[in-house]
């Protein structure tokens, strides 16, 4: 895979700490950022229907399966609409 240059604006303190971390991991800062972005993208792609993280955190606490005909985003919207009286 070909590499491309990328210019980012990042707080200097974050850069300093990231360089220290990368050095301890024996990898370059570029590799560290690449690995992070790759994992971030994979994690987002793996989540079906792009479910809100707050809802996803609740997965498994209820018995049974959620029926396929229920739209979780729509249900969350209805709940919040009722809660806030909109």
Residues of the chain with pLDDT > 70, as a percent, come to 86
Which of 21, 77, 31, 27 lies closest to 54, judged by CA? 77
How far apart are alpha carbons 71 and 65 in whole angstroms?
Answer: 13
CA distances from 25 to 20, 21, 29, 68 (A): 9, 6, 10, 44
Q: pLDDT above 90 covers what percent of the chain?
A: 36
- pLDDT exceeds 90 at position 69: no
Tokens standing for residue 11: 């707080």
Q: How high does pLDDT run on average in the chain?
A: 83
Asked if 13 and 21 touch (Cβ cutoff 8 Å), the reply is: no
* Banded pLDDT at 68 (limits 50, 70, 90): confident
Answering whether pTM is above 0.75, one says no
């Amino acid at each position: 895979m070909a590499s491309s240059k990328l210019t980012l604006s990042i707080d200097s303190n974050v850069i300093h700490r990231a360089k220290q971390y990368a050095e301890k991991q024996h990898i370059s800062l570029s590799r560290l950022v690449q690995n992070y972005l790759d994992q971030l993208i994979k994690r987002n792609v793996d989540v079906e229907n792009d479910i809100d993280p707050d809802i996803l955190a609740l997965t498994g606490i209820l018995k049974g399966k959620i029926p396929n005909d229920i739209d979780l985003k729509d249900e969350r919207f209805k709940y919040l609409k009722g809660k806030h009286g909109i």
